[in-house]
Structure 1
Amino acid sequence: MKTVLFLPLLQIPSGHHQAADALKEDLLAMAPQWQCHKVELLSSRLGQAEKLISSVYLQWIRHFPKTYSILYDQAVIRQKKAHLSFRYYEILFRRHIKNVVQHIQPDLIVCTHALPSYLLNRLKLSKEIANPVVNVYTDYFIHHLWGIEAIDYHFVGHPYMKTKLMKKGVPESRIFVTGIPIHPYITISKRKGQTERLCYSGLISGGSLGIGAFTELLKKISPNDPIDYYVLCGKNVQIYKQLQNENHPRFIPLPYISSRQEPIEITFLNL
């Protein structure tokens, strides 16, 4: 019997958790005798303080999205150093994550968030752990917080990401272009009562919070575009109502969907 440890971050239902849950369900469907553990780093280390941190984090993003974007960009995207050290993260979490790994003794560790990946990469470089570690990226880019050098395998969402990792020295044999994991409960179907059209379908998502450059992106889509765009607005009621009021012929806005079993009805072209 094998044991797999999944490491997302924060208790909020982010894409990091969704990816971990999707992989866990698929894995157990193939090997029900395996044991799967999902450990959230902040709550397991800080207890109830994680709820406060999550709340402040969400309020910050909702009310001051530009400052969040600027700081995030400066901290982990535009850094020029070849080997970054996030010392405060290590002080807070390095020993804790090592203890978690030693307690569970997993045969495989799956990181769906950059912070656990960074810490495990440091531990593997210093030979403190030897467990195989996989990075599962939930974005279409790779920022500097992700651990790279000592990570055993990388599951990426796009061939461009594979190229970037190879430039960083990762062997091609350790990189797999898999797309972003989708939970097996999520299904799509044709829209009821709608005649089939010669039109493709696209999906635009800003995550569970419905943030991102929606306005700029949607302005570029013509009413005559050959693609119908389903826009997942998450909990962003403002953008959902805005898209409804615009009544753009190519946009189908969808509010926050809490249940994976609830199908998203999509009209698509049979090729």
Structure 2
Amino acid sequence: MKILLLPLFRFPTGHTKAAEAIEDAILRVYPTATIDMVDLLSYTNPVLEKGVGSFYIKWIQSSPKTYQFMYGKLVNRKSTKEKNDELPVISKVFQKKMKQLVTKHAPDIIICTHAFPSSILGILKREGHFSNIPVINAYTDFFMNDVWAKQTSEFHFVPHQEAKQKLITSYHHPADNIFVTGIPVHAGITKTKATPSQQNILLAGGNIGFLDVDDLIELTNRMPNTTFTVLCGNNKKLFAKVDGANNQRLIAQGYITERAEMNALYENTSAIVTKPGGVTMAEVMRKRIPIFIDHFLPGPEEENFHYLNARGIVRKLNEQSLDELTDQTIIATMAHNITNYEQEIDFTLEQALSAVFESIAIHE
């Protein structure tokens, strides 16, 4: 069995983490499967991939309002019109490269964890290409933007029941082809509920702009029974500042490469302050950890926040009342709402993949 897995970008993103989770699940079901994971941008042109990634980061940081406007106009128009699941202006270069890529690998099935390759495949399928190769859309946010080829992709791994219903009613897909898996999470992040031995708040390093190190030290004084772990990633300056505070209840955590280490950290976490990236939210929700959002970027993070906040799964952090991070009434309510969401998931990744492979008669 040959499978082509299509995230976007080579640097770590939620889309690549979801692709890795799916790859792991495939090998659990079919250990001898041949899996090729390819980024269409770098396959088209390695320089282009770096340029697009750099431009995106600079744009969203320097002018979030214009990014939000263009995202709403081009990516998330919230329409169900025919052919609305492709970018209004798309380069023929990517269609040509996608043809070459699929022809070269000759897969039995294609799995997309990003809307862009899904959209390119949708265009090609409408033109009659690759009609014999099924495509799975594995959605990595809590909404389905308009770039995803929802009409032409045969199978869908969706984040929740509302998404399944939308694909049935608006796109007329059979229910048997839609699997509520939640956003794909690697099996290394286990379903064991976090059981911290004490109050330990996890702070994502990029999301504590409202606090400098002196504020964090003051916070440990205000909340003497709570430890704060700051995820610094590759930010060496932040790590040095936090570590240099010499405070036993203020811990600097560098970049984590092993999922087992991240899983262990989650299991000792009583609450997290972070941004609402789709895969991060799915990981934390799997551990039943209460989630507080300091801020979010326009686009996917904003859409994720609105969905999760409406369900009482995340809470906007009140910077004037940080004691809510350990408020047991708030914590219990959020944990209950997370549990309700998790109970709506019908399939594990392994179960969904097995069902798809069996339905199209793919065997080892």
After TM superposition, the score normalised by the length of structure 2 is: 0.58
Matches within 5 A, 1:52-91: 52-78=51-77, 80=79, 82=81, 83-84=83-84, 85-86=86-87, 88-91=89-92
Per-residue CA deviations over 1:217-260 (Å, capped at 9, x if unaligned) read xxxxxxxxxxx9x6663644526759957849799775245322
71-80 vs 8-17, greater mean Cα deviation: 71-80
Higher helix share: 2
Q: Does 1:194 align with 2:198?
A: yes
Match of 2:184 in 1: 181
Aligned with 2:90: secondary structure?
helix
Distance 2:165 2:138 in 1: 16
Match of 1:143 in 2: 145
Matches within 5 A, 1:1-271: 2-78=1-77, 80=79, 82=81, 83-84=83-84, 85-86=86-87, 88-129=89-130, 130-168=132-170, 169-187=172-190, 189-191=194-196, 193-194=197-198, 233=204, 235-236=206-207, 238=209, 244=216, 247=219, 254-255=230-231, 256=233, 258-259=256-257, 260-262=259-261, 263=264, 264=266, 265-267=268-270
Equivalent residues of 2:202, 2:269 under 8 A apart: no
Q: How many Å apart are 1:108 and its aligned residue?
A: 1.1
Bigger Rg, which one: 2
Equivalent residues of 1:8, 1:20 under 8 A apart: yes
Distance 1:239 1:32 in 2: 47
Per-residue CA deviations over 1:71-119 (Å, capped at 9, x if unaligned) read 1122121264712353542413011111101110111100000011111
121-130 vs 95-104, greater mean Cα deviation: 121-130
Match of 2:244 in 1: none
Per-residue CA deviations over 1:168-198 (Å, capped at 9, x if unaligned) read 222212111000111122246432x428xxx
Cα 1:97–1:232 change in 2 (3 A) is: farther
Aligned with 1:110: secondary structure?
strand
Distance 2:174 2:36 in 1: 29
Equivalent residues of 2:74, 2:87 under 8 A apart: no
Residue identity opposite 2:113 in structure 1: T
Aligned with 1:261: secondary structure?
helix
Aligned with 2:43: secondary structure?
helix
Equivalent residues of 1:231, 1:252 under 8 A apart: yes
Cα 1:81–1:194 change in 2 (3 A) is: closer
Residue identity opposite 1:180 in structure 2: I
Cα 1:254–1:131 change in 2 (3 A) is: farther
User: How many residues of Structure 1 are paired with residues of Structure 2 in the alignment?
Assistant: 236
Cα 1:122–1:238 change in 2 (3 A) is: same
Cα 1:76–1:181 change in 2 (3 A) is: same
Distance 1:254 1:162 in 2: 37
Residue identity opposite 1:8 in structure 2: P
Unaligned runs of 5+ residues in structure 2 are 234-254, 271-287, 289-331, 340-364
Aligned with 1:134: secondary structure?
strand
Match of 2:347 in 1: none
Per-residue CA deviations over 1:14-57 (Å, capped at 9, x if unaligned) read 11100000110121133221111100011110122311221121
Unaligned runs of 5+ residues in structure 1 are 196-227
Distance 2:95 2:205 in 1: 33
Distance 1:68 1:150 in 2: 28
Indicate the RMSD between aligned Cα atoms, in angstroms. 3.1
- Percent identity (aligned): 33
Equivalent residues of 1:233, 1:240 under 8 A apart: no
Residue identity opposite 1:153 in structure 2: F
